[in-house]
Amino acid sequence: MHVIRLTTPVAFIIFKRPHTTEKVFEAIRQVKPYKLFIIADGPRQDRPSEAEKCEATRAIIDRVDWDCEVLKNYSEINLGCGKRVSSGLDWVFEHVEEAIILEDDCLPHPTFFRFCEELLERYRYDERIGTISGQNIQFGRKRDEYSYYFSHYNHVWGWATWKRAWKDFDLDMKKWSEIKEKGYLNNILTNTRTTYKWTKELQSTYDAMVDGLFNVWAYQWQLTCWMHNYLGIISNVNLISNIGFGSESTHTSGTRSRHANMPTEAVEFPLKHPPYMIRHLQADNFTQKTLFSYLHASLLQRFIWKMQKVLEDRYSKSLQRNLLFCCTSTDKKVELRR
């Protein structure tokens, strides 16, 4: 397959996983972007081995062997996922108007880049759109005959956006109290239970921000998109495989999630554009029931998930099965905890 060289800047977010970083880097290398931004967090002081892993991961970037401007934003201290990603993207959009964004565990199909590039251009000045995502979690369900659909959810496992949208991002959730008090989520979400669960989850995120725990950023980005009525573009086929599930991951440590290592397939060109801009309610309801199923989980189910995580980190698979004989396999809280 002939690969057209990428003109859109790529932002690549890395940390301490050279194995996954190398695979995603090779995917980027295939399209040879003219401009590559690298955002890297520093090692945690209480984990001595991380400094070496961070160094090995950063060394992969030095393998750029094509005509490319490489801009590096490396933190020597550990900022945490929330602050590192958000401050890194702030820096990216000080330099460019739009970018394709990949984390070190989000392995794209080769057609992902062209998909993003064409849609970044098409919707560049359309302020109804905030995000373009290659991640599709409909598990083979083609929602219509077009190349993508519109969603109220903004997936961030392989995505793209514009400076015009990112400028609204608020890591600290400064307007959350007003949003909650006035019940604005009722105007966005489809039922009372979903609104209640999202309100509770966003309040927990806000409380963590107040306590100085900046471990997440994607909840805040989702809230930003909702508050500015941004729709997300979702590819009608899955273009991203998350290869990072496991003990080395910050938020996706469980290895049994159905969202881990999902197969990808090519999007066909020329793209078939929807003739309307309306969210696909059926697809969004499916997303809410599957990807965000943890929001509706009971305390017992959340305890079971927590125990599964502990056991996966500490014990063999055979022992896990014996200890969890009364538990059924289920998905975890995964994507938005990034």
pTM score, whole prediction: 0.85
Q: Residue 87 and residue 77: Cα distance in Å, rounded?
A: 13
CA distance 164 to 91: 14
* Positions in the chain whose pLDDT score sits under 50: 247, 249, 251-253, 296-297, 305, 316-317, 320-321, 323-335
The letter for the amino acid at 72 is K
Token pair for 179: 């949003």
Residue 101 and residue 89 in contact, taking contact as beta carbons nearer than 8 Å: yes
Rounded to whole angstroms, how far apart are CA atoms 243 and 259? 10
Q: State how far the Cα of 290 lies from the Cα of 288, in Å rounded to an integer.
A: 6
Instruction: Please name every residue paired with 74 in a beta bridge, in sequence order, or none if there are none.
Output: 40
Spell out the domain ranges in the chain.
10-323
List CB contacts of 97: < 8 A, sequence separation 6 or more.
124, 162, 163, 164
Q: What was the pLDDT predicted at 303?
A: 61
Q: What is the DSSP letter of 193?
A: H
166 and 270 Cβ atoms separated by less than 8 Å? no
Q: Where are the alpha helices (DSSP H) in 18-141?
A: 18-31, 50-61, 81-95, 111-122
Q: Give the model confidence (pLDDT) of 155-212 as tens digits.
A: 999 999 999 999 999 999 999 999 999 999 999 887 888 899 899 999 999 999 888 8
Looking at residue 76, its pLDDT comes to 95
The CATH T-level fold of domain 10-323 is Spore Coat Polysaccharide Biosynthesis Protein SpsA; Chain A (3.90.550)
Taking CA atoms, 74 is separated from 39, 112, 278, in Å, by 6, 26, 40
Q: Do 202 and 225 meet the contact criterion of CB atoms below 8 Å apart?
A: no
Which phi and psi angles does 41 have, rounded to 5°?
Answer: -90, 160
Residue 14 has what pLDDT? 99
Query: Per the structure block, which two tokens stand in for 109?
Result: 């199909």
The pLDDT of residue 330: 44
| Predicted confidence (pLDDT) per residue in 208-242, tens digit | 988 888 789 999 999 999 999 999 999 999 999 99
What is the DSSP pairing of strand 231-235 with strand 69-74? unpaired
**Assigned token pair, 252:** 């996706």
